Structure 1
Amino acid sequence: MSEIINNRELQTPNTTKRQSILKQIFKDLHDGKNVKEVKAHFDAFIGKITIDEISQLQHDFGDLSVEEMHRLHAKHTEIFKGAIEEAEKTNKPEEQPGHPIHTFVLENKELDKLVNTQLQVHLGQFEIEDSQEIVLLLLEDINLLLDIDKHYSRKENLIFPYLETYGIYGPTNNMWRINDFIRDAIKDARKKLASYNGEKQAVIELINFVIQEVITMIYREENILFPMALNNFTEDEWLKIARESDEIGYCLIAPTEVWKPERHALDEKAISEGYIKMETGILSLKQLELLLNQLPVDLTFIDQDDVVRYFSHGKERIFARTKAVIGRTVQNCHPPRSVHVVEELLADFKAGRKDTEDFWIKFRDKYVYIRYFAVRDENGKYMGTLEFTQNIDPIQAIEGEKRIMS
């Protein structure tokens, strides 16, 4: 890196030479070179970096181990600070109330307020005196912070799928893992506080970790992820994201207005009035959709290529689904830490080793029965997988007999 570089040439963001230098700088970082030294090279030879270049770098370095990814993201953030070029825009729809980015930023402001002016203050009091009263104050703060799951879930289920359609996989592979680290740390903090037994230092270190990671994630979102999405997504895609955000919910605050861009909103396609002739009857598409949505279960179907093709949309879904998952591979619809389970199940179905697999879990206030069925044609050829999810608490509560109408 000590060679003389023509800085004027480097100001053209897409030159081969600039890309080569960027890769070498980040390779040095990955190889464990001193961060200050790497940043000095970055400042001297690159200076500013665009969102597109960051996206390409994340893609080039591919998937990382959990430990490596967590270590490097902190270093990347340190190098990026103050170096990201802002895209010039004359009209900024993301600043309009109701736009998904506007809502994300409002949530980040509330999260920043919660961790810096509330959680941090109570933690300082706890360091002086770990009384029951202060422990309860911290527990209240952590319970509020659990709401961050909705913020992250909207990223994962609405932003990430569209980024993938543009060939951008870095956030899906790496940011989702960090989201999970933060979720787990918050839950761990709640557990330690709820059953506090005097492990003061452990609680202090854990909550400091949570505060730091939440603040750092806010920076990554607002300086990398959101600009990356804004540079690529169409207005129609943002409209779809805005419309599907309600299903997942909001963190600490909700939009007070519906986003209405200047251009007329995307018209929803009416369901065709055509009919489907099946072996045992005929239904219109409208009737079929109403029938499937009326079932007291959640259905999801993926095809033989692992692509999500359909999910039912009943009144009370157990797990959140958004239309953004349609056309997305099922592997990218699951947190990275559970993808191996999905892969193993699908491999068994495709090889004919299994036709079904069942799971049952406690999820919030429900007892959930999850069933997977290999869908095969009349010749036994694998055509896809059906996921069947049901809350079986009401069924387990049944006693005796009922022979007449209530």
Structure 2
Amino acid sequence: MSEIINNREQQTTTTNKRQAILKQIFKDLHAGKNVKEVKAHFDAFIGKITIDEISQLQHDFGDLSVEEMHRLHAKHTEIFKGAIEEVEKMNKPEEQPGHPIHTFKLENNELENLVNNQLKVHLDQFELEDSQENVLSLLEDINLLLDIDKHYSRKENLIFPYLETYGIYGPTNNMWRINDFIRDAIKDARKKLASYNGDKHAVIEVINFVIQEVITMIYREENILFPMALNNFTEDEWVKIARESDEIGYCLIAPTEVWKPERHALDEKAISEGYIKMETGLLSLKQLELLLNHLPVDITFIDQDDVVRYFSHGKERIFARTKAVIGRTVQNCHPPRSVHVVEELLADFKAGRKDTEDFWIKFRDKYVYIRYFAVRDENGVYIGTLEFTQNINPIKAIEGEKRIMS
């Protein structure tokens, strides 16, 4: 027994030492120490690193510039390359068609093909001659690359929430920012090509940036993010992710099969027929859900702790929502760059400074009216916020009167 205890103590001591060395290595890296020196130190004292160890390294990037964020992520990638231990699994469901990771990897293959075999080739031709034909070829490639938004959106809205439930916040805080930088760069390239004015250098610079970051992100996903998720998620969680993926959509390709795991323990109970007695009526749970889903608006409710508790699921949602957001803080359901707006709104509601706030935006072919209401009980105590979203194009088009049925 004493040998077992001693072995456990030694293992704990070794683990703590490794974590201390890793933390110091990344402090040195962030402080600007030469990356080759840091890499040599890493190779000498760490050698190989596991996905679990990476997930335990919590880096607070704070309010960094785009340039600083990219500098640090590039250095992290350089340190990790070739050092991540692969975990052997007897059964690999992620290799089965239709599994979310299988689909993500298929998309990455398509993205690599698009970037390496089309975009790079057309960029070389453009560098030699910025003819209209070469500009249009690049524009066509960039328009295809815009589809990457669906790949990133599934990652942000389906993978990140479950990682958070396991106490892993690095991808949400940092990878989402990099995703946004890539999205912005692709849109910038599209804008420069669509209204090309002869600034050849600017086009080459932004497209080279896009190529580098897309390829680097694929490496981060396949060597860090996906193994991290596979090491933690249950079969039931992967089934839920697979089912939710259709709502967001796919990048360049779509899965040809529905994933059917060998053992699926999801409980497929029908909605309970129990009744809810309210002040102005009595409804079954099924009636209430159907009623809410038939409203010609999208509604979402977050509680007093900023946790998403409910959203309606009508036939045509304006903004994508997945069940993975349930139980997630609303701040982590928004890109980092817009979180401050959410925080300010909720602070006003909680302090009683406001009861409502309205926004209206053009979104694709819709004119969207977004309303927020502070929900308070009979004593005026704040219990949450209701988001109410509606396409008001049909309303704005109304003229005259209608007094008979169609």
- Interval of TM-score (by shorter of Structure 1 and Structure 2): over 0.9
Q: 1:10 to 1:66 in 2, by over 3 A?
A: farther
Deviation at 1:267, TM superposition (A): 2.9
Residue aligned with 1:64, SS: coil
Deviation at 1:14, TM superposition (A): 5.6
Structure 2 equivalent of residue 396 of structure 1: 396
Q: 1:79 to 1:284 in 2, by over 3 A?
A: same
Structure 2 equivalent of residue 233 of structure 1: 233
Deviation at 1:367, TM superposition (A): 0.9
Structure 2 CA distance, aligned partners of 1:18 and 1:277? 58
Q: 1:278 to 1:14 in 2, by over 3 A?
A: farther
Q: 1:357 to 1:307 in 2, by over 3 A?
A: same
Structure 2 CA distance, aligned partners of 1:117 and 1:3? 58
Q: 1:82 to 1:12 in 2, by over 3 A?
A: farther
Q: 1:265 to 1:30 in 2, by over 3 A?
A: same
Structure 1 CA distance, aligned partners of 2:6 and 2:199? 56
Which runs of at least 4 in structure 1 moved beyond 6 Å after TM superposition? 1-13, 60-63
Unmatched runs of 5 consecutive residues or more in structure 2: none
Q: Deviations over 1:323-364 (max 9, x none)?
A: 000000001100011001000000000000000000011111
Deviation at 1:269, TM superposition (A): 2.7
Is residue 309–residue 326 contact of structure 1 (8 Å, CA) maintained in 2?
yes
Deviation at 1:16, TM superposition (A): 1.4
Deviation at 1:69, TM superposition (A): 2.7
Unmatched runs of 5 consecutive residues or more in structure 1: none
Residue aligned with 1:379, SS: coil
Structure 1 CA distance, aligned partners of 2:330 and 2:101? 25
Is residue 156–residue 176 contact of structure 2 (8 Å, CA) maintained in 1?
yes
Q: 1:8 to 1:114 in 2, by over 3 A?
A: farther
Is residue 236–residue 264 contact of structure 2 (8 Å, CA) maintained in 1?
no
Q: Deviations over 1:216-262 (max 9, x none)?
A: 00000000000000000000000000000000000000000010111
State the TM-score, normalizing by the size of structure 1. 0.95
Deviation at 1:11, TM superposition (A): 9.8
Structure 2 CA distance, aligned partners of 1:5 and 1:202? 63
Q: 1:4 to 1:383 in 2, by over 3 A?
A: closer
Is residue 100–residue 238 contact of structure 2 (8 Å, CA) maintained in 1?
yes
Q: 1:276 to 1:219 in 2, by over 3 A?
A: same
Deviation at 1:70, TM superposition (A): 2.4
Q: 1:83 to 1:344 in 2, by over 3 A?
A: same
Residue aligned with 1:61, SS: coil
Q: 1:119 to 1:90 in 2, by over 3 A?
A: same
Q: 1:118 to 1:376 in 2, by over 3 A?
A: same
State the TM-score, normalizing by the size of structure 2. 0.95
Structure 2 CA distance, aligned partners of 1:224 and 1:37? 23
Between the two proteins, what is the percent identity of the paired residues? 93
Is residue 300–residue 310 contact of structure 1 (8 Å, CA) maintained in 2?
yes
Deviation at 1:61, TM superposition (A): 6.8
Structure 1 CA distance, aligned partners of 2:396 and 2:249? 29
Is residue 10–residue 46 contact of structure 1 (8 Å, CA) maintained in 2?
no
Is residue 126–residue 135 contact of structure 1 (8 Å, CA) maintained in 2?
yes
Q: 1:12 to 1:350 in 2, by over 3 A?
A: closer
Is residue 11–residue 46 contact of structure 1 (8 Å, CA) maintained in 2?
no
Deviation at 1:63, TM superposition (A): 7.8
Residue aligned with 1:368, SS: strand
Q: 1:25 to 1:314 in 2, by over 3 A?
A: same
Q: Deviations over 1:141-199 (max 9, x none)?
A: 10100000000000000000000000000000000000000000001111111111111
Deviation at 1:7, TM superposition (A): 17
Deviation at 1:59, TM superposition (A): 5.0
State the superposition RMSD in angstroms. Answer: 3.9
Q: Deviations over 1:290-310 (max 9, x none)?
A: 111011110000000100000
Deviation at 1:264, TM superposition (A): 3.2
Is residue 375–residue 383 contact of structure 1 (8 Å, CA) maintained in 2?
yes
Is residue 63–residue 174 contact of structure 1 (8 Å, CA) maintained in 2?
no
Q: 1:380 to 1:5 in 2, by over 3 A?
A: closer
Deviation at 1:6, TM superposition (A): 18
Q: 1:395 to 1:9 in 2, by over 3 A?
A: same
Q: Deviations over 1:16-59 (max 9, x none)?
A: 11111111111100100011111111111111111111111135
Structure 2 CA distance, aligned partners of 1:280 and 1:114? 58
Alignment of 1:38-57 (within 5 A): 38-57=38-57
Moved more, 174-183 or 257-266: 257-266
Structure 2 CA distance, aligned partners of 1:271 and 1:52? 38
Q: 1:384 to 1:4 in 2, by over 3 A?
A: closer
Structure 2 CA distance, aligned partners of 1:332 and 1:370? 19
Q: 1:144 to 1:14 in 2, by over 3 A?
A: farther
Structure 2 equivalent of residue 200 of structure 1: 200
Structure 2 CA distance, aligned partners of 1:4 and 1:22? 27
Q: Deviations over 1:119-157 (max 9, x none)?
A: 110011000111111111111110100000000000000
Is residue 122–residue 137 contact of structure 2 (8 Å, CA) maintained in 1?
yes
